[in-house]
Structure 1
Amino acid sequence: MSVEFYNNNAEEFFNNTVNADMSATYSLFEENLCDIDGEILDLGCGSGRDAKHFIDKGYKVTALDLSPVLAAKASKYIGQQVIVGDMKDLDYNDKFIGIWACASLLHLTEDEVLETIKRCHKALKKDGVL
């Protein structure tokens, strides 16, 4: 799917994903975080469902999505600005205790995934979780 798909179908995508039960997956991710006070990157945040969960749990969250239309909806939903950007251009260093990438890396080619994972590794703090 392309950014145009998400821009053109943002309302339907938002409505179909925002209430999905991710509790088991959240638990697995959170129990492996090295610090409860650190920051999480929601990479390809879509509706903002997951960013909102982490914000509600008290984490600081940076949310990123390529679709400006979906990012605007997610920003409103989570109560903070979602960065409109491409995960392939990720440029952080030693910043996040966790990077949450739920159904986002699947949009990349194999080479793009490998490069993006390298960028994620650089963005993670020591013992960070992807």
Structure 2
Amino acid sequence: MKLHADKPTHLNVFTGYGADFVSVNEQRRSGSLVVSPTSVDPWRPASFAELTEADFEALLAFQPEVVLLGTGSRLQFPHPRLSRALMQAQVGVDAMDISAMCRTFNILVAEDRRVIAAVLFE
């Protein structure tokens, strides 16, 4: 699906998504990613099943106020112990499917929020 929205030209936004990819600023990306308003970086876990506490702790380096966890085409919730470091740092964590993650990220970027999207595919 392609997303259309007015976007700030200097910030990352999701412009499309599919079963095994997302498009960030019209560039198709696959594999696990961390997308912030200003960067796109690889992320270690190859799947939801591989998530560890260290994967969530690594997200603190982005200094987010909100982490959107995209879990593929279906919604999956990580065990609370995995995201404990984020919760202790008072960072909101929201798990959602890829389509909801893309839309929510774009809205929060437009509101100038410190958001990151941690993207996983099945």
TM bin, normalised by shorter chain, reads 0.3 to 0.5
Q: Which structure has greater strand proportion?
A: 2
Give the TM-score of the pair, scaled to structure 2: 0.35
> Which one has the bigger helix percentage?
1
**Structure number, greater radius of gyration:** 1
Which gives a bigger RCO, structure 1 or 2 (Cα 8 Å, sep 6+)?
A: 2
